Chains A and B, each alone.
Chain A
Amino acid sequence: MTTSDFLHSKTAAVLTVVLVLLCIWYAGAVALNTPFQRDQDVRDKVERSTGDFVTATLNQKRPVLPAPHQVAVEIWQTTVEKKVTSKRSLVYHAGITLSSTMLGFLIGTVLGIVLAAAIIHVESLERSLMPWIITSQTIPILAIAPMVIVVLNAIGVSGLIPKAMISTYLSFFPVTVGVVKGLRSPDPMQLDLMRTYSASSFQTFWKLRWPSSIPFLFTSMKIAIAASLVGAIVGELPTGAVAGLGARLLAGSYYGQTVQIWSALLSAAFLAAMLVTIVGFADKAVRRRMGMVQ
């Protein structure tokens, strides 16, 4: 690859954008932390040069906006330097969140596929249920999360299951809608072909509809897994912050530990990016095997 090719590539463009965002972050950190630092310096009667002052704004203990390197150090300390079982390890908290995300996502996806298959085959189900499924996507379902957690807690169900239920709930809607669209995607000519073979509806499903729906399934799975993670994080908020990335966020906000909030936030972002990427890879692998991409 020549230099000019590199400059025209997507990677270079993405890297530039990320770099610019980092610069904005640093500039924002200096700007937002300046008032506090100035007050502090006046109180301590410290005189600083500009360079020294900027360094100080980027290394406060409880900054308004922590600098990227502070967050990086915090993440390093709470992942690599802590035992995974420790309650102060981010890996431990991320693991808790991940487990309910995955459980909810799996149940939600299976449920979504089953429901979609039913909707495709029972016309009255489609006509009566589908409008509600679509409408329910327009309402803030996440608002019921605290209630689900607390109510289930009250009847003795706590821990993984209630959070997973919220994740299930959030992930099954996109899957249902996406898969219904996918199962509908074969064009009339392909369906007519199956009719000329006098194929049963079961055969039509497995040999035509299901393979056609795979790209749609993966697209909605990407949405579903992201929604599932959001569900798990929000599900961790109302129980009074015990464990999980949501709990870290809440604890951080109680005690004004901004660095902790940002590190939890970035780990959540990293987790989401990873999950979506994994689904993306699975998508490509499956489609390559099915001959849909070269």
Chain B
Amino acid sequence: MIAGIPLTVLGGAAALLFAAIAAVTGTAAFSPAFVACGLLLLVAVGGAVLRRDDALGAAVVILSVHAAAVPLMLHIDSAPGEMDSGYWALLVSAWLMAWTSVTRLTQTSKKLPTGARRAVDLLIPLIFGLWLMLIWEAITRGAGVPQVLLPAPSAIWAKLTASLPILWADFVQTFLKAVIVGYVLGCGIGFGTAILVDRSPFLKRGLVPVGNMVSALPIIGIAPIMVMWFGFDWQSKAAVVVIMTFFPMLVNTLEGLSASSSMQRDLMRTYAASYGQTLWKLRLVEALPFIFNALKINSTLALIGAIVAEFFGTPIVGMGFRISTEVGRMNVDMVWAEIAVAALAGSAFYGALVLIERALTFWHPSNR
């Protein structure tokens, strides 16, 4: 009977049993939320054991374990920072059952039609992320972890919503000014240089290895120099971004321009196509995946460059400035809020590039 039950379910059941014993013997703090959470988890364990293979079982596990998350969080309010072994057992049980639900979703998603499978594919990492947050919240608030060391997600969220004007000003300064200007200039100059260099095989042979090497160097160190040259405001950060994004774009575009096969170039030759026609109709299109690769690498580099360059001196606004000063004042929640904004901006930027790439390179084998 037990043999066919996954380890995570057995673990979840054992932890739940431990929590129940702790509650009954009175070693655990008691609250209605605790009971509700325990019961919901019991339903989840029951569903996982009794309905091992079907969709109904999966649904029961998923729904009950996520319903259990609510009382799990509410119980902390009964005695913040003083959770006992009974609560931790409950948390472990909930985590194991959540993991079980992810496993079940993974298994069932294979049998679903394409549309539904896509949705589940999106849901799985979201559940994972949610439980990461829940556990983070439960541990920081439940065990009373000092705010300085690691603030709870709820605290970060509170800080974030409370300081929107400051965060927006920082975002404008760092992202909309330094990052965008530097990124457009750096990628543009890199691309233009590649198109020019492409006509000279000798220069190309020399520049590709040099460019590859430079891409691996800690170019970020140029920041203090740029601050000296271009002043404290966003222009110096944009300059750092220009230099950081130039080389990846140069190298990738050069590589991409030689990506077309010799057969395709011969074909253009049989048409007596001009250099410009071959470039425009064949080689630039074949180079698109490489160019987008550089654009994607550069989107991350640009944000890093602008933020780190601000550590070397800024006017009193900007994401990097905020991070370094608030760290100094031990306002760690503000730092996390700023990092959350940076993360959001970074992945949105990257995501936008991916969408444009998909639209433009729909023909590429990796996108079909």
Residue on A with the closest CB to B349? Answer: A138
User: How many interface residues does chain A have, given as a range?
Assistant: 35 or more
Q: Decide if B129 touches A132 in the complex (CB within 8 Å).
A: yes
Q: Decide if B350 touches A151 in the complex (CB within 8 Å).
A: no
Does B202 count as interface, using CB distance less than 8 angstroms?
yes
Contact for A268 among B217, B225, B320, CB less than 8 A: B217
With A233-B218, A268-B217 in contact, do A123 and B207 touch (Cβ < 8 Å)?
A: no
Contact for B216 among A10, A147, A226, CB less than 8 A: A226
Q: Decide if A226 touches B217 in the complex (CB within 8 Å).
A: yes
User: How many interface residues does chain B have, given as a range?
Assistant: 35 or more
Q: Hey, what's the 0/1 contact readout for A216-248 against B, CB within 8 Å counting as 1?
A: 000000110010011001100110000001100
Contact for B128 among A128, A250, A261, CB less than 8 A: A128
Q: Hey, what's the 0/1 contact readout for B202-218 against A, CB within 8 Å counting as 1?
A: 11111101100100111
Task: Pick out which of these stretches binds chain A: B64-72, B152-160, B277-285, B308-316.
Answer: B308-316
A-contacting residues, B180-230, CB 8 Å: 202-207, 209-210, 213, 216-218, 220-222, 224-225, 227-229
Contact for A10 among B205, B220, B320, CB less than 8 A: B205
A148 and B320 alpha carbons, distance in the complex (Å)? 14
With A124-B124, A128-B124, A151-B148 in contact, do A143 and B222 touch (Cβ < 8 Å)?
A: no
CB contacts (< 8 Å) of B206 on chain A: these are 10, 12-18
A276 and B218 alpha carbons, distance in the complex (Å)? 12
CB contacts (< 8 Å) of A154 on chain B: these are 148-149, 330
Q: Decide if A144 touches B339 in the complex (CB within 8 Å).
A: yes
Which of B105, B323, B324, B327 counts the most A-chain CB atoms under 10 A from its CB?
Answer: B327
Does B303 count as interface, using CB distance less than 8 angstroms?
yes
Does A186 count as interface, using CB distance less than 8 angstroms?
no
Q: Hey, what's the 0/1 contact readout for A51-66 against B, CB within 8 Å counting as 1?
A: 0000000000000100
CB contacts (< 8 Å) of A18 on chain B: these are 206, 210
Contact for B346 among A138, A252, A273, CB less than 8 A: A138
Min CB gap B244→A, angstroms = 11
Residue on A with the closest CB to B303? Answer: A140
Query: Closest 4 CB pairs between A and B?
Result: A13-B206, A253-B224, A128-B128, A17-B206
26 A-B interface contacts by CB (under 8 A): A10-B209, A12-B206, A17-B210, A124-B103, A127-B106, A138-B299, A140-B307, A147-B339, A150-B330, A154-B148, A226-B216, A229-B218, A230-B218, A233-B218, A234-B220, A237-B308, A238-B327, A245-B221, A249-B224, A253-B224, A253-B313, A258-B225, A269-B218, A272-B217, A273-B213, A273-B216
The chain A residues found within 8 Å of chain B, CB to CB, are 10, 12-18, 21, 32, 64, 123-124, 127-132, 135, 137-144, 146-147, 150-151, 154-155, 222-223, 226, 229-230, 233-234, 237-238, 245-246, 249-250, 252-253, 256, 258, 261-262, 264-265, 268-269, 272-273, 276
